Every structure is written in C-alpha cells, then in structure tokens.
Amino acid sequence: MLKKSLRFHRGLQFFIFLIAVAAVLFAIFSFITIKTNVNIIREVITAVKGIASGSLLNEIIRMQQSLANIYAIAIIEILVLLGGVICSLFAIFYLVNLYYLTIKRSLLDELTGIYNRRALYKILDQEIKRAERFKHPLTIVMADIDFFKIYNDKNGHVAGDRLLQKLTKVISSKIRDVDTLARYGGEEFLIILPETPHEGAVKVAERIRKAVEQTRFKGQESQPKGKVTISLGLVTYHGEYGERTRLIQSADELLYRAKEQGRNQLIKAYYRNHEIFAKQEE
C-alpha cells in the first residue's frame, strides 16, 4: 500500500509540474504579445477577414509591409503557444491515465496481480444478475492451499509469497479468459465460471487440482505429503441465485468439507431452485 501511495504522489507531482510549465509558457506568450504589440492570432484573424472581404491585394501589401517585424516575433509566439498547448494536453492525458491506473490498481491484489476481494464482489454481482436474466448456470470454486502455514514456517514468508504467485499462474493457465480468478484471502482463491454447466465446471476444477499437484514448487519437500496441493469446494447454481454471500458460503462449506476429508480433493454440489441435485458422496 505504501508503494502504491508513493507512485500516486509522484504521478500527481509530475502532473502539477506539467501544468506549471504550461502556465509559464502561456504567461511568456502573453508577455511577448503585450510588449511587442504583435499578436499572431490577431494577425491571422485580420488576414482572414481581409481575404474574405475581397481585398486580397491590399491584404498582401499590408502583410509585406509588416513582414520584417512580424516574422521573428510570430515564430516565437507560435512556438511558445504550441508548447503551452502541448504541455496542457499532455497533463490532462496524464491525469486521466493516472486516475484509471489508480482505479485499476485498487481492484488488483498487489502480490499476485489478480483481482482482490473488492473486485471479486463487483464481478460476482454482475455475473449473478446476468445468470438470472438469461437463465444460465453459474459456478464458483473456492480453493485453498493445503498446509500453507507449515510451508511458511518451514520456508519463510518470502517463499510463501513466491508460491502464491506461481500458484496463481498455474490456475490462470487452466481457465478461460471469460472466467475470473481472484484472491479471496491469505491463501484462498475464488474462481467464477460463468455460463458453465456443472459437469464442465467439475472438469475444470479437477484439471486445476491435478495441475497444482503435478507442479514442482521450491521447498515442497517440507509439506506433509511432500508436495503442494489444494482443496476445492465447487457449487453450481441454476435458477434462483440470491445474494453473492450465499454462493460464496456454499462453496466455502464444501471447501472445508474437503479439508476435513483429507485435503487435495474436490467436493462439489449442484443446486437448482434451492434444491440440491448433485452432491459428492461422503
């Protein structure tokens, strides 16, 4: 959070610097215009009016008489004015970009680069509304690293952070672009699979579980089973969805059941109109 704050303040300072430069350039332009009594904008307007009135020859003569005095000053005015406009436009663009970058970063987990819980809630609410409107199934998967505390105690928190980053990449490689992966808690992840039938979602979850189990993580020898594994709780809703807390709670309950039954496994359930249709045998 401190790094984000420092980057934001540096960006804001750069924006203020650009505005200050633009203000100085506009001030110089005004000073030159007043002191020399030559205003390139006024000269252009006068020339256009003269040509529009039909006195093209008279306008050419007038311009020739004042060319020696205008050229040098006009070029300086143009350059200064152009510099001020460019600085102003760049400052506005930079501020807008800084704003959207700040908004984006506020929705991302700083360690893993995936969505955080704040973004997750917004996305899940949107997916629930879409599923209710089009009568499509919606699946969410809650995943948790098995014995993560032991891994941290044996290998250190830096190694634990690296494990989370690598695990994120493994999971991301097994889901679609339309799916959403978010860090729900310390070592908990939540995956949203929109418009995904129960059977298809189960295949995705099992593919993720096996991929993690088969991935080589540094320091995995310290784990009780000699490798890093995850437990998953999967729930598919089709019909009356309700609030996001209900879906998350259902997946969380299934996840803890997977923990209680030995870890490194998937517990799943399928609901339709509040009735359970499919459930893993205990």
Between residues 203 and 57, the one the model is more confident about:
203
Kindly indicate the confidence band of residue 1, based on its pLDDT and cuts at 50, 70 and 90. Answer: very low
pLDDT of residue 282: 41
pLDDT of residue 65: 52
> Could you read off the pLDDT of 125-165 as tens digits, one per residue?
999 999 988 889 999 999 999 999 999 999 999 999 999 99
Residues 6+ apart with CB under 8 A from 188: 142, 143, 144
Kindly indicate the confidence band of residue 281, based on its pLDDT and cuts at 50, 70 and 90. Answer: very low
Residue 216, pLDDT > 70, answer yes
pLDDT of residue 256: 95
Kindly indicate the confidence band of residue 25, based on its pLDDT and cuts at 50, 70 and 90. Answer: confident
pLDDT of residue 121: 94
CA distance to 36, 74, 193, per residue, from 67 (Å): 14, 10, 71
Mean pLDDT of 168-195: 95
Q: Which of 257, 263, 154, 143 has its CA nearest to residue 204?
A: 143
pLDDT of residue 96: 76
Kindly indicate the confidence band of residue 264, based on its pLDDT and cuts at 50, 70 and 90. Answer: very high
Count of all residues that appear for the chain in the document = 282
Helix (H/G/I), strand (E/B), else coil: 192: strand
The catalytic position among 59, 77, 127, 187 is 187
Whether 187 is a known active-site residue: answer: yes
Burial 187-219 (b: 16+ CB within 10 A, else e): bbbbbbbbebebeebbebbbebbeebeeeebeb
pLDDT of residue 10: 67
- The least confident of 15-19, 208-212, 220-224 is 15-19
> Could you read off the pLDDT of 78-132 as tens digits, one per residue?
677 777 777 777 777 777 777 777 677 778 998 999 999 999 999 999 999 999 8
Q: What is the DSSP letter of 263?
A: S
Instruction: Please state, in angstroms and rounded to a whole number, the distance separating the CA atoms of residues 6 and 94.
Output: 17
